[in-house]
Structure formats: structure tokens, C-alpha cells
Structure 1
Amino acid sequence: MEIYKTRASIASKSNWLLSLIIILLVTFGVMAVLQGIALVLVPPLFGVPLDEFMAILSGQSTNPNARIALLFVQGLGAGLGFFFAALLIAKLIDKANLGWKQQLQRFRFTSLMIMIMVMLGGMLFNSLLIDWNSNVHFPEFLSGLEVKMRAMEDAAMDLTKYITDFDSFPEFLMGVLVIGVCAGLGEEFFFRGVLQPKLHAYTGNAHVGIWLTAFIFSAIHFQFYGFFPRMLLGAIFGYLYLYSGSLIYPIVAHILNNTVTVILVYLNKLGKVNFDIEEADEVSIPLALLGLLILLLGLRIFKEKNKTQITNGELD
């Protein structure tokens, strides 16, 4: 069961709309402030003038420190932004107790191995979902919207390729820190640690809380052609938390998921493996269905191992 103990009136079910509005305002505010601080620190730390930063965002900067400067801004403004926003909401606004001592006590090595099984099954099935989602076509009357969404997707991919086109080992380590650790820690603390238990409480149903959180988690990336695979991934993280009562599992799972991708991209550039971040590995339907079976079976075993029971969407 998720741990989010609070008696603050603002966190009550009757104030759900106000609470969500405050979450939105606080999160954007914290991220804006941290990104502003990061931008101010870029020139003295990395020798990149602020007037060059737009060129960095378009991937056209020739400054040797451009990539690591962009990773720094992304890590402080986004990854740590979510972390500090969640901390501010939980501690100062909701006055909530996440029971970190209890969460750490619930973390077990055997459950970690089962979690890895769950993630492997999810990766296999998600490959099929990625391929389907990337080839979705809108009706003719929405063709203009499709063109705009494809353009946004291409721009996001260009930026991702630029950020992960590491020219040195220090850049690679910075990529692991920002894309793997900071994103995994910050996003899981915010989405699964704070938002999911609140939506669970507001809707009265654990599953609705998980899938609503996963929907929002995917939507904030503003990438329709990766929306459904990312939502499934968010739901997997959500069930890992629900069934264990320990946020450590989704944090570790998220960090591993992102870090493995960063490592594969780097090894591909070194010529050690063949990996294209733009292309999902082709997985046959039978193999993808096997992945789904492994995912569902793994979650079932994970749930039983952690002795969390659910009846009609409610925790016992």
C-alpha cells in the first residue's frame, strides 16, 4: 500500500480540486525557479554564454561544453525540479509522512529480482506497443494535427539524440546522472510518491489512481507517438509501489530503465553494440505476448511476495 499519511485539510477528498491546482502551480513554479538558477550558473560553470543556449536547444551549438550544460539544466530544472516540488507539497502543504523508514524496511532482495522479471516482461510487451503507437494515423479531418504532432515528435527525438550523443566518458556519466538517476528519483517521488496516493484517496480506487497517474506521467512528456508505452511503464511503476508499499522499487526500476538505454546508446557510439534509439527492436507478436505473460505473472508473484491484498480495488 502507498504510504502518504496526512490529516491536513487541504489534502482531504473534499478539497481535491484545490489540492490538484496547488500541485500544478507549485510544480511549475519550482521547476521555473530551478531552471532559472541553472541558466544563471551555466556561464560560470561551463563557459557557455546564455545567448548561445537557444542554439544548444536546437542542437546546433558548436561549444564543446554545450551538451553537458544542457544536461545540467535538464537535471536541475526537471529531474530535481520534480523532487523538490514533491518535497514541498508533501512536507509544507499536505504535511504528510511518507514513512521512509517503513519503506526502506519493506525493500527485499528477492522482491528486487522479481521486479527485474517484471521490467523485462514489460520491455518485451512494450516493444510491440511502441511499434503500434509510432504508426498511429489520424483521420483525414485531423491530418493537420497529426502533422504538428509528428513535427513535435521529430523535434523531441532530435534533442534526445543530441543530448545522448556523448563525446566523452564524463558526458556519458553526466547523462547517467541526469537521465537515469535524477529523472528516476524525481519523477517517481513526485508521481508515485505524492500524486498516486492522493489520486487513490480522491477516487477511492487504487487502480484508478495508478492509471490516472500514469496518464498524467505520460502526458507531461508531450509526445503522443510514445504516449501509450510510457503510460504502461508508469502503470508498472505504480503497481510496484502499490503491491510493496515501498517507493524504492519504482525508483530503482525507473533508474534502471533509463540508465540501460543511456548505456546502450553510448556502447552503440563506441561500436560495441548495435542500438538505434530511434528504432524499437522488432519483436514478434508471440514474443510480445510472452512478455505480457511474464509481466502479469511477475506482478502477481511480486504482490504475493509482499503480502499486499486488494479487494475490489481497495487495500485490506
Structure 2
Amino acid sequence: MTGYLKQSSTLLQFVTFLGFFFGFFALYIAALQTITPAMTGQSLEAIQSGAFNDPNLIGYLKITQFFYTIVAFFVPAALFAYLWQPYPATYLGLKPAPKGIQIVIALFAMYGVLPLAGLLGEWNETWPISQSAKDMQTMAEKLLAVMLRMPTIKDLFINLVLVAIIPAIGEELFFRGVLQRLVIKATRKVWLSVFITSILFSAIHGEVLGFMPRVVLGFGLGAIYVISGNLWLSILAHILNNGSQVVMLYLFQHGMMKDDPMKDTPVAWYYVALSIPVTIALFWALSKKSTPMSMIDPVEEKKKDGADEIGMDENL
């Protein structure tokens, strides 16, 4: 298997993967700045400002969001996995397909981390940040609210694809499928690596006042992957988290729910205290129903002739 990235050092693998990310991200930005004025006659900043009043501009923003996920996350992860070894789907944890009981447990476990995410989110809201950062976050929240206006059922399905399904696939391939595996390989400490990856996952979203909830959600997604070895479960849990927000917002907009899901609601401490042991129990149950891949390279041993190595994990 000469020439595959798996034969390179961990540092070179990191450099290659991050190079893919920054390279494709730069390509996306350059294309956006070139194509946007040609197609709309306006800059991206003008479109973002005008989207509050022009539905056509909202559609354009949704298209740019779709291509951002594909170009910045999906393509680098898929390309790295393809170059890493001849079985990219196996490397990413996309084979075999998960069992029904695994899906049920993983989805319930994802719901289990939400109370802690909500409680830390309340604390996160008290963080002192600059006025410019507050203004940027306020603008981002307003744009998101505009993009998630759903007057028809068609809009609901479009937003489920653009906000729940596509980002879940792209981000899980990138963060859990590749980045988390590389961090584990570098540190040889699985749970520390899951935590580090969850911090990076949250940081890249660029929302300071939403940082801690995303760290908790990222940790939950990373734990599902580590315990099960199946990335499909993390993808489905991610879809569940994003998709449920979209559905609840649709129901609220059409008067079928009283509480606005985009507004934070206080979380009782005892609810969090109860959810933590329940979630741990769910993760334990998932481990009993799974045969995870090894996330750490086994210690290399050499035969007496020094030529052959044994105990190598082909999934890493």
C-alpha cells in the first residue's frame, strides 16, 4: 500500500488535512467574492444586509451556506480519507451500517446531553465580550432567523436539508471522522482528544456566547463515535439535534407551539443532575451493543529480523 497517507507521520497527516481545509476554504472565499457580484450585482455584505427584506437574497444565502459546508468540511475530509488508505469508508467509520438498537440508544444519549448544554449556555451568556463581538453575534442570529422563516412545508424540508442533514454529514466527517482520529493518534489519550476536538468544533462556529453548549454537544457526538466506532450514529445524532430545532421553530411559527425555540429557557439544576447519570448509562448501554474500532495505534512490536511489524490496526 505504498504511497498512502497512513504510512506518513502523524504531523504530516495533520499538516495535510489542515492544508486541505484552509486551501478549500480559501478557494470558497475567493469564488464567493468573485461570483457574488457577478450574479447579484452586490457584495456579500450588502446581500446579508438586504436579506432582511428580499426573499431572493435569502435563497442566495442558503445556497452559499450549502456550498460552504461541502467545500470547507465534506471535501477535505473525503479527500483525506481517500488518500489515507484504500478503504476510506472504513477509515471514517461508515461501515458497517448501525443496528436499530444502536441508533435508538445513540439518539437518546444525544438528548441526554442537552440539559447540561443548556445550563452551561446560561453561564456562557454572562461572559464579558466586546461590543463588536456582541454586534457580530446579534447580526448572525438575525440572519439565521431570516433564513429559517418557513411559511410553507416546502421551506421546512429545504431547511431540514440545509440546516440539519448537510451540515451534520459534513461536520461529522470533518471533526469526528478525521480530526478527532488524528488528535487521538497524536495524544494517545482518547477522552482528552474528544474534549479537544469538541473545543475546536465549537470555536470554528465563531459564536462566543454559544461556545459552551457546542462544546458539550461536540463532546457527546465524539463520545458516540468513540464508543460505537460508527460515524453514522454521530451523524444521525447531529441531524436529530439540528433537525428538532428546525421542526420546533416551524411549529412555533405556525402557532402549534407556544415557546420560541430560538430563545433560551432556564434549565433546572436537578434536571441536569438527573440527566447526567442517565446519559452515562445510555453510553454504557451503547458500548455493550457495539464493537468499536481501535482508536489508538497498538504498540509496535518487531520480529527478531527487524523487518516485519505485528499488531498493526488497519483502521487507523
- Could you state the TM-score of these two structures normalised by the residue count of structure 1? 0.82
**Farther-moved stretch of structure 1 (105-114 vs 242-251):** 105-114
Relative contact order, CA 8 A, sep 6+: which one is greater? 1
Specify the SS of the correspondent of 1:105.
coil
**Farther-moved stretch of structure 1 (95-104 vs 272-281):** 95-104
| Within-5 A mapping of 1:17-96 | 18-34=12-28, 49-51=40-42, 53-58=44-49, 60-79=51-70, 81-92=72-83, 94-95=84-85
Identity %: 25
Q: Contact between 1:117 and 1:294, CA under 8 Å: does it hold in 2?
A: no
The partner residue of 2:121 within 130, 142, 146 is 130
The partner residue of 1:297 within 278, 281, 287 is 281
Name 2:310's counterpart in structure 1.
Answer: none
Name 1:8's counterpart in structure 2.
Answer: 6
Q: Contact between 1:126 and 1:229, CA under 8 Å: does it hold in 2?
A: yes
Name 1:97's counterpart in structure 2.
Answer: 87
| Residue 35 of structure 1, CA deviation | 5.7
Unmatched runs of 5 consecutive residues or more in structure 2? 300-312
**Farther-moved stretch of structure 1 (149-158 vs 50-59):** 50-59
User: Quick one: structure 1 residues 86 and 96, their matched pair in 2 at CA, closer, same or farther if it must change by over 3 Å?
Assistant: farther
Name 1:281's counterpart in structure 2.
Answer: 265
User: Quick one: structure 1 residues 42 and 292, their matched pair in 2 at CA, closer, same or farther if it must change by over 3 Å?
Assistant: same
RMSD between aligned alpha carbons? 3.1
Amino acid corresponding to residue 303 of structure 1 in structure 2: S
| Residue 83 of structure 1, CA deviation | 0.6
| Residue 150 of structure 1, CA deviation | 2.2
Name 2:157's counterpart in structure 1.
Answer: 173
Deviations, residues 91-123 of structure 1 (Å, cap 9, x unaligned): 23x346344497433511111111122112111
Q: Contact between 1:79 and 1:185, CA under 8 Å: does it hold in 2?
A: no
Q: Contact between 2:229 and 2:293, CA under 8 Å: does it hold in 1?
A: no
Residues in 2 aligned to 1:286 and 1:279: alpha-carbon distance in whole angstroms: 21
Could you say which structure has the larger radius of gyration? 2
| Residue 221 of structure 1, CA deviation | 0.7
Specify the SS of the correspondent of 2:95.
helix
Deviations, residues 19-41 of structure 1 (Å, cap 9, x unaligned): 33332332132234346657777
Kindly indicate whether residue 108 of structure 2 is the aligned counterpart of residue 108 of structure 1: no
Amino acid corresponding to residue 200 of structure 2 in structure 1: I
Specify the SS of the correspondent of 1:165.
coil
User: Quick one: structure 1 residues 242 and 168, their matched pair in 2 at CA, closer, same or farther if it must change by over 3 Å?
Assistant: same
Residues in 1 aligned to 2:22 and 2:5: alpha-carbon distance in whole angstroms: 25
| Residue 57 of structure 1, CA deviation | 1.6
- Could you state the TM-score of these two structures normalised by the residue count of structure 2? 0.82
User: Quick one: structure 1 residues 275 and 183, their matched pair in 2 at CA, closer, same or farther if it must change by over 3 Å?
Assistant: farther
Paired residues in the alignment total: 296
User: Quick one: structure 1 residues 81 and 36, their matched pair in 2 at CA, closer, same or farther if it must change by over 3 Å?
Assistant: same
Residues in 2 aligned to 1:86 and 1:50: alpha-carbon distance in whole angstroms: 33
Unmatched runs of 5 consecutive residues or more in structure 1? 1-5, 138-144
